[in-house]
Amino acid sequence: MNAEPRPPSPRPEALGLLTRLALSPRFHKLAAKVPGLRWKARREGEALFGILSGFVQSQALVALVEGRVLHFLAAGPMTTEDLSRRCAMPPAPLAVLLKAGAALKLMSQDRQGRWHLAPRGAAFLAVPGLEPMVRHHHVLYGDLADPLAFFRGQTETQLAGFWPYVFGPLAQEDAGLAARYSRLMAESQVLVAEDTMRLVNLTHRQHLLDVGGGTGTFLAEVGKVHPGLTLSLFDMPAVLAAVPPSLRDRLRLCPGDFRADPFPVGADTISLIRVLYDHSDASVVALIAKVFNALPAGGMILISEPMSGGDQPDPATDVYFAIYTLAMRTGRTRSAAEIAAVLAAAGFQTIRVRPGDRPFVTSAVTALKA
């Protein structure tokens, strides 16, 4: 067996001043004695421990969700014994979980020992998409069980099988897979749509075609803001079969696979909502070129998804989404600048990057066809 390569010896002259100080045990001892430095050192220590304990925190959240602890507390305060009976957990380990939930500010305990749902826990239940995201994370966690093997490309990821649509069109017999994909997508699209509508003004647009839009959740939210806009939905037949009856009269349903089938004509705006980061660079280049060809002069492309921070990595998108898309094995999380470059190469002009207030939900890029 080959020995692991030894890390190179530190070369102080190649490091910045602060990094050199951080490598010095003597400096850490000094920092512990000086008030201003002690505060900085404590903050850095807390940040490092937050990184170290992040996996345990997320697993505690999974247990709270799967045990429906937050749901039970939404009905009113409960004691540990009450929750133990409802959640089928022994009181002693449950008490540890509840304390962890309180430390994460998801709940609190009063002087009588009753547990209350905290505002953060209530927001978790109320925000669309968060709970389904947590419920399927066992797949991602399994892929990361051996992280070194994962990043060396030695892991056959389960997440790639969880989202089979990214490899090609779903067969009619894959209706169950399509329903799972559509359900998870729909439950997160409400937030994406709300943030996108704050970033992009569609007032002067006539007809919006949403490509890869699932069961129409994004278009339904757009329709609330722009009731006069014609709305078309392009997705695979197995996905469109799950469009709710309440939307079928509002949307024009256009079955097809964007890899092989032509887009319907007539739309002056085409949106790609959380689509690009599911796919390879070659697929993205081809898709954007196809959108360009389908749009009339003056037509607009709207891209909305979580984006990398590029030269300034973002703690949400460049950790969570970048690793998630790596596990999917087909796409990657791109920066707005990378997306803008592909748009420019396809012929689009007036490219505008619109950073989101919540980059972990979405940011947007728009461009026009001259």
User: How much of the chain exceeds pLDDT 70, in percent?
Assistant: 89
132 in a structural domain: no
Domain shared by 151 and 290, yes or no: yes
209 in a structural domain: yes
Domain shared by 192 and 339, yes or no: yes
Residue 85's domain spans which residues?
54-126
Report pLDDT for 172: 47
pTM: 0.84
Q: Which CATH number is 349's domain given?
A: 3.40.50.150
Give residue-wise pLDDT tens across range 250-268: 999 999 999 889 999 999 9
8 in a structural domain: no
Domain shared by 183 and 290, yes or no: yes
Report pLDDT for 226: 96
Domain shared by 302 and 339, yes or no: yes
Domain shared by 212 and 355, yes or no: yes
Three-state secondary structure of the chain: CCCCCCCCCCCHHHCCHHHHHHCCHHHHHHHCCCHHHHHHHHHHHHHHHHHHCHHHHHHHHHHHHHCCHHHHHHCCCECHHHHHHHHCCCHHHHHHHHHHHHHCCCEEECCCCCEEECHHHHHHHHCCCHHHHHHCHHHHHHHCCCHHHHHCCCCCCHHHHHCHHHHCCCCHHHHHHHHHHHHHHHHHHHHHHHHHHHHCCCCCCCEEEEECCCCCHHHHHHHHHCCCCEEEEEECHHHHCCCCHHHHCCCEEEECCCCCCCCCCCCCEEEEECCHHHCCHHHHHHHHHHHHHHCCCCCEEEEEECCECCCCCCCCHHHHHHHHHHHHCCCCCCEHHHHHHHHHHHCCEEEEEECCCCCCCCEEEEEECC
Across the range 42-52, mean pLDDT stands at 84
Q: Is the pLDDT of residue 10 over 80?
A: no
Report pLDDT for 19: 74
Q: Is the pLDDT of residue 311 over 70?
A: yes
Domain shared by 210 and 75, yes or no: no
Q: Is the pLDDT of residue 48 over 80?
A: yes
Domain shared by 204 and 311, yes or no: yes
269 in a structural domain: yes
Report pLDDT for 350: 98
Q: What total number of domains does the chain contain?
A: 3
Please say whether the beta carbons of 356 and 191 come within 8 A.
no
Domain shared by 28 and 171, yes or no: no
Mean pLDDT of the chain: 88
Domain shared by 194 and 149, yes or no: yes
Picking from 126, 146, 171, the residue at the C-terminal end of a domain is 126
Give residue-wise pLDDT tens across range 152-161: 999 999 888 7
d(CA 43, CA 74) in angstroms, rounded, equals 34
Picking from 126, 161, 176, the residue at the C-terminal end of a domain is 126
Report pLDDT for 362: 95
Report pLDDT for 173: 43
Report pLDDT for 335: 97
Domain shared by 35 and 114, yes or no: no
Q: How long is the chain? A: 370
Domain shared by 33 and 147, yes or no: no
Domain shared by 180 and 82, yes or no: no
Confidence of residue 171 (pLDDT cuts 50, 70, 90): very low
320 in a structural domain: yes
12 in a structural domain: no
Q: Is the pLDDT of residue 8 over 70?
A: no
Across the range 40-48, mean pLDDT stands at 80
Please say whether the beta carbons of 302 and 269 come within 8 A.
yes
175 in a structural domain: yes
65 in a structural domain: yes
